[in-house]
Structure 1
Amino acid sequence: MVRVLSTAGIVIGITLAVERLGPKIGGALAGLPIVIGPAFFFIVRDHSVAFSANAAAASLISLTATQAFLIGYIAVAAKSRAAIFAATLAWVVCAWVLSWIPPSPWTGLLIFLPAMIAVRFCSRRFLRPFTPGRARGTLTLLVVRGVAAGLLVAGVTAASWRLGSVWAGLLISYPIGLTVIAMTIHHRSGAAMVISTLRAVILGVLSPVAFTFVLAVLLEPLGAVLSFFLALIAGVLATAGLINVQRTGASA
């Protein structure tokens, strides 16, 4: 219950912040490790350092599939509110291919960075003008989706003994938090808003990349507590840097 409610609360809070702060800053916030962070708290607590480091490296590699998820949603969002199916299919195909790569934090970085640049470039053609406005609808669906995100974290972390480190890491990186955020913004604020937000998230994913990279590299030399704390700091600093860049660009 703690795993479900803690994750759900974080996802719901970030989603509401995204709606209120606009696509650029909101997109940077949406990239925070809002699911990976709580999930790895329980992984690190319940498993050995070697298991957790391997899972973190697998998650980092799997974050490239998050870029496939984002471009899949962005490409279909203007045509259908069922864009989540295209995004999920893109993630599944990409994650399956990536699952064959031996987990390594350095390999994960080498794969992720070119993919991020390519997706960011390709996503420009789908941008649409929009006028910021008040979100429509109730919060009921958001709460339901947030609880679903919490259930995924609870299920994967509880089953991690059977899944093994690689598949636990891969499944933890499924963008369930972004699924909640994208579907909620799409439903409440429209296609143009969700496209702009998710395009900002393309860079925002640098936050969980920083988190998983630091965790994978430092777990064995520094131990669970210090490495997890430093990984959280790295993720937050990555997001803070992106927000600062967005604010500087907006005021220039």
Structure 2
Amino acid sequence: METVFLDVVWSALAVRMAATALVVVLVSWSVGAFGPLIGGALAGLPMVLGPGFYFLSQQFPADYVQQAATYAVYSLSATQLFLLLIILCAPNLSPWRTLLCAVAGWAVAALLLSFMPVQPVLGLALFIAVTAFSLRASRRLAGMKGTSKAKAGWGLLIFRGALAGLLVAIVTTSSSLLGPSLSGLIMAFPIGYTVVAVTIHQTLGAASLVATLRSALWGTGSLAGFCSTLALVFTYMHWLPALLLAAAVSIAITLLLVFRPWARRG
């Protein structure tokens, strides 16, 4: 039993490290190659939450996973506030001070949301409301102009991606011991956005960061679609079709955001 547990832990660490590193590298590269709209939308793909919930589904009963997915939706509301704080602080603060303010805001919001009932529809409604508020509150910075700095090299992007992967692997693996509510809240901690934000802020400047994260406010809707779908269907379906359905919903939302012009207007 102990050997099986260790195998699961190490495989979870490896997959989550790789997924998070891929998100960071992909988003950072796509911002420079295709612009902030595409980069922000791609940041919403469940490349971290997908593997995380796969491992939860292998270790825990359906009710546990359903509750964790519900609290992940709540956590994504805190993520929207996290992104909003970065957008508002980035023009005036250093990358690390900006990040500190955002993480503190996320922690306070997540603590309050941990007392919410296990209601996926309520979580989704709250997410939509917080997203609308965040888009409106950040609208004055939508046309922010600035001079981009030199782009980071691939070596630096991969190093930062690997570091983010290590952090998320440790957090999400440990969170499975904390119960479904804390597991879901911590699973959806925006570690990918954290490293992406610092990387873009340092290498491309505050203007590119603001544009990217305003797009990411829309892009997080893909994660909300993934978690909401899981929360609604997981106790009624086998784990594999449930995960595939949630992933399909998330990808459909991402494609819609990339190709629909209203997402550009924010």
The two structures have a TM-score, normalised by structure 1, of: 0.91
Equivalent in the alignment of 2:83? 70
Equivalent in the alignment of 2:9? none
Counterpart selection for 2:55 from 24, 31, 42: 42
Matched, 1:199 2:214: yes
CA contact (8 A) 2:27 2:40 kept: no
Tell me how large the CA RMSD over aligned residues is: 2.1
Equivalent in the alignment of 2:6? none
Equivalent in the alignment of 2:67? 54
CA contact (8 A) 2:172 2:186 kept: no
- Displacement of 1:247: 8.8
CA contact (8 A) 2:148 2:203 kept: no
Equivalent in the alignment of 1:244? 259
Equivalent in the alignment of 1:158? 173
CA contact (8 A) 1:11 1:35 kept: no
SS at match of 1:78: coil
Equivalenced residues, count: 250
Matched, 1:167 2:167: no
Counterpart selection for 2:92 from 79, 101, 105: 79
Distance 1:30 1:135 in 2: 21
- Displacement of 1:86: 1.2
- Displacement of 1:38: 2.1
Q: Report the AA paired with residue 90 of structure 1.
A: G
Which consecutive unaligned segments of at least 5 residues does structure 2 have? 1-12
Measured against aligned partners, the alpha-carbon deviations of 1:94-149 in whole angstroms (never above 9, x if no partner) come to 11111111222111012111111011001012234437867433344432332233
The two structures have a TM-score, normalised by structure 2, of: 0.87
Distance 1:248 1:209 in 2: 16
Provide closer, same or farther for how the CA distance between residues 109 and 248 of structure 1 changes in structure 2, counting only shifts above 3 A: closer
Equivalent in the alignment of 2:113? 98
- Which moves more between the two structures, 234-243 or 32-41? 32-41
Distance 2:55 2:168 in 1: 9
Matched, 1:125 2:140: yes
Which consecutive unaligned segments of at least 5 residues does structure 1 have? none
Q: Alignment identity in percent?
A: 35
Instruction: Within 5 Å, give how 1:227-242 maps onto structure 2.
Output: 227-242=242-257
Counterpart selection for 2:126 from 111, 120, 123: 111
Provide closer, same or farther for how the CA distance between residues 64 and 135 of structure 1 changes in structure 2, counting only shifts above 3 A: same
Distance 2:206 2:169 in 1: 31
Distance 1:95 1:226 in 2: 29
Distance 1:166 1:115 in 2: 20
Distance 1:119 1:154 in 2: 29
